């Protein structure tokens, strides 16, 4: 029987449920168990595809093309698994499924209600996901971790909370465990820790019919023993069921913090984990995973040599908009023995208009760009900030500063090169100017122009290295493989009609799709590292296995790429 661990949140959203859920999964994997994860988002959207990054953070893309919440990226990175779109449950998906069944007559004339029809659909969906393999073994997971998005007490999450109340009886007590993540704020000049918000949150949870097995208390500093005792007393749990999770230097320390608290032994008792059959191979793999994880977390503290990367984007005011990019840079930096310093640059601040409206901001932004060891332009949509990105790419190309362009960032590199090297001053993207006479980037012909949701070129697709690319730095970074599989998310592509002209001037398309018609990787020969990728390599980064393109950027920015190759 699959074991289910639900992670709920109280007091405020964004409290760290995703990190607690991912860390729990990492600890269970270290025992040799197979783990999967589900994120429940109570919003009405079918998926996250049409949400603004500034409203909800990054849209994460899975192998099957699912556009999902960024927490699924956390799960994949921590657990080193590959999830699918059904691992992200939304209110929109559940209601659509129930309404479609009602229209087909599946409910036999009954009145369709939130209870039992919506709550039953939620529980059935969870059980379907829990039976799906997440690795090459083909075996179903031993443990399914369910993160309940939002905050207990929210109107929109009520059906999911009720579904979990029913689910605990459906699967049985020893197969269901609840972790409630709450906030212990530190207030006043003396830094007093307050337990009342947690008490109220647990009261709401109990009022909904759920009893926490663990209360994970988030705080800016370690909890006093008296505070833990107070939470234990007033929330009706044993002292060992109060888990203090204070701020740490990196998220990689959270599983270590939880393990030191005795969480693994607690799960062994509470979920009877010893009754599960774990092969010697999986047990050894789990031990090796934990050893590597501990080494990774320890190395974070002992790296002192810095490397700075200017991230020139459109959504830098909310860093979660680029969380996978940030993680990919971090993983690559750790792998290369460098401490990462990211300079967050809003692309519009590099444009001439800012020189007039806010000269100080303009000069500060350019100072950051010019002093960085490398420049990265990530993906994005729309025309805002494009001129700033083009200027950043031009600076990197002309001054031999390592540059990595992702999706839009690759298109920026091609447009800039076409304008300033290939004698095409009017080169433009059809995304920004549909009537341009010199389209360097065009709308993909197979993409719908009437429906936006789920209609981009999405998911895992092959990229084939082209003949003559044997000396390509990018190809060497990928281990000289003839082809690679990476995840995509785009509507526009480099215009195939200008490829010959671009290449004749020194910017080579070393990777294309399987048809040879769609440009995937661009690279400049006479440059330390000037690379663009139409795909999103950051979606496949892992703490112990960084993305080759990001590793190349960090190596080049550190001045050691050629020696590393």
Residues marked as catalytic: 407, 536, 538
Is the Cβ–Cβ distance between 218 and 197 less than 8 Å?
A: no
User: In the 3-class helix/strand/coil scheme, how is 396-450 assigned residue by residue?
Assistant: HHHCCCCEEEECHHHHHHHHHHHHHCCCCCCCEECCCCCCCCCEEEEECCCCCCC
Residue 161 is encoded by which pair of tokens? 């909370």
517/519 Cα distance (integer angstroms):
7
> What count of other Cβ atoms lies within 10 Å of the Cβ of residue 192?
11
Do residues 373 and 340 touch, judged by C-beta distance below 8 A? no
Angle value at C-alpha 181, between 544 and 316, nearest 5 degrees: 55
H/E segment holding residue 231:
helix 225-234
Tell me the helices (H) and strands (E) count for the chain, helix number first: 20, 23
Of 392, 413, 440, 428, nearest to 507 by C-alpha is: 413
Is residue 25 within 8 Å of 145, Cβ to Cβ?
A: yes
β partners of residue 215? 180, 242
Of 31, 26, 260, 58, nearest to 145 (Cα)? 26
Give, in order, the Cα–Cα distances in Å from 129 to each of 122, 145, 463, 513.
11, 11, 30, 32
Phi, psi of 97 (to 5 degrees): -65, -45
Largest Cα–Cα distance of the chain, in whole Å? 74
Round to whole Å and give the CA distance between 168 and 51.
Answer: 32
| CB < 8 Å & 24+ apart, contacts of 514-523 | 514/462, 514/464, 514/483, 516/464, 516/466, 518/493, 519/414, 519/493, 519/494, 520/463, 521/463, 521/465, 521/474, 522/405, 522/410, 522/413, 522/414, 522/494, 523/472, 523/473, 523/474
Q: Would you state the structure tokens that stand for residue 216, as one six-digit string?
A: 């994970």
The DSSP bridge pattern shows strands 483-490 and 457-465 to be antiparallel
Give the residue from 270, 280, 33 showing the smallest Cα distance to 141. Answer: 33
Contact 541, 324 (CB under 8 A): yes
3-state DSSP call for residue 337? coil
């Amino acid at each position: 029987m699959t074991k289910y661990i639900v992670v709920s949140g109280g007091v405020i959203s964004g409290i760290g449920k995703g990190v607690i859920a991912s860390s729990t999964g990492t600890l269970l994997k270290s025992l040799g168990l197979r783990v999967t994860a589900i994120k429940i988002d109570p919003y009405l959207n079918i998926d996250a595809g049409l949400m603004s990054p500034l409203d909800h953070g990054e849209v994460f893309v899975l192998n099957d093309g699912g556009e999902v919440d960024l927490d699924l990226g956390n799960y994949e990175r921590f657990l080193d698994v590959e999830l699918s779109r059904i691992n992200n449950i939304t209110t929109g998906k559940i209601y659509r499924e129930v309404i479609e069944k009602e229209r087909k007559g599946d409910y036999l004339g009954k009145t369709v209600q939130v209870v039992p029809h919506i709550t039953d659909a939620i529980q059935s969906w969870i059980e379907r996901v829990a039976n799906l393999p997440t690795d090459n073994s083909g075996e179903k997971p031993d443990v399914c971790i369910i993160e309940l998005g939002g905050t207990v007490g929210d109107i929109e999450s009520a059906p999911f909370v009720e579904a979990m109340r029913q689910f605990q009886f459906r699967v049985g007590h020893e197969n269901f465990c609840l972790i409630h993540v709450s906030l212990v704020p530190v207030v006043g000049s003396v830094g007093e820790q307050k337990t009342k918000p947690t008490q109220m949150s647990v009261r709401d949870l109990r009022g909904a019919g759920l009893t926490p097995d663990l209360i994970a208390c988030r705080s800016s500093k370690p909890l006093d023993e008296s505070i833990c005792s107070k939470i234990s007393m007033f929330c009706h749990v044993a002292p060992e069921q109060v888990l203090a999770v204070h701020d740490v230097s990196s998220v990689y320390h959270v599983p270590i913090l939880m393990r030191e608290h005795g969480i693994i032994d607690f799960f062994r008792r509470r979920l009877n984990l010893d009754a599960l059959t774990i092969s010697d191979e999986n047990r050894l793999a789990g031990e090796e995973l934990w050893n590597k994880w501990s080494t990774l977390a320890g190395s974070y503290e002992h790296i002192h040599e810095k490397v700075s990367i200017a991230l020139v984007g459109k959504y830098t005011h909310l860093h979660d908009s680029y969380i996978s990019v940030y993680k990919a840079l971090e993983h690559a930096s750790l792998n290369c023995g460098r401490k990462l310093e990211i300079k967050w640059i809003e692309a519009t601040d590099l444009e001439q208009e800012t020189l007039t409206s806010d000269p100080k901001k303009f000069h500060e932004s350019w100072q950051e760009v010019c002093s960085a060891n490398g420049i990265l332009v990530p993906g994005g949509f729309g025309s805002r900030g494009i001129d700033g990105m083009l200027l950043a790419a031009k600076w990197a190309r002309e001054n031999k500063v390592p540059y990595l362009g992702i999706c839009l960032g690759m298109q920026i590199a091609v447009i800039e090169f076409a304008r300033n090297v290939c004698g095409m001053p009017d080169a433009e993207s059809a995304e920004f100017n549909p009537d341009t006479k010199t389209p360097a980037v065009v709308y993909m012909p197979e993409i719908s122009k009437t429906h936006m949701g789920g209609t981009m070129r999405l998911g895992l697709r092959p990229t084939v290295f082209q003949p003559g690319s044997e000396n390509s730095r990018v190809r060497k970074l990928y281990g000289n493989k003839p082809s690679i599989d990476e995840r995509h998310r785009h509507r526009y592509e480099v215009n195939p009609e200008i490829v010959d002209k671009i290449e004749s001037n020194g910017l080579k398309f070393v990777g294309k799709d399987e048809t040879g018609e769609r440009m995937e990787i661009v690279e400049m020969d006479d440059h330390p590292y000037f690379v663009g990728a139409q795909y999103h390599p950051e979606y496949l980064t892992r703490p112990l296995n960084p993305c080759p393109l990001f590793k190349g950027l960090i190596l080049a920015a550190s001045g050691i790429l050629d020696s590393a190759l």
